[in-house]
Structure 1
């Protein structure tokens, strides 16, 4: 069984037992959280699509770790204008293990 969930403004396709990195969630490491914004759930040929979410559906996940992604560099330049700008960014994330999907 799989589900499409929404968290942190992004959508993720998840399966039980899978590890995913999502936008940072304020939860302690080791706690179990419930993601209740399930947009779609499917198993084989049967698919349930929410409008916009499936009522009563949820995904249980365990928080494994918090961290920061690799650094990305932003470089802006205007040619022949003597303008250069260097900037870097590291986005925070929360690593989750999907435990169960109930639809």
Structure 2
């Protein structure tokens, strides 16, 4: 695995069209090096018999029943609107004349 050098970070920044200062390149060189080392450690212990996971703790369905509750009437919903028309909020056009 190639070492992360300031030249590599500078090259990656150039490819991503990100302007980095010399201080940022120095800092990112160390950070990216640590990330690469960490990924290498995980890859070394990852075996085919260990399933990949997106979360360390299994998650169940965290939804609730869809129960209809008290809702606003049309008049209540529109009572605070600056403008309304035909039971709907009226807003100015943002796309111009092409509608």
The higher relative CO (CA closer than 8 Å, separation ≥ 6) is in 1
TM class by shorter chain equals under 0.3
Q: Which has the larger radius of gyration?
A: 2
Greater fraction of residues in helix: 2
Return the structure number with greater strand share.
1
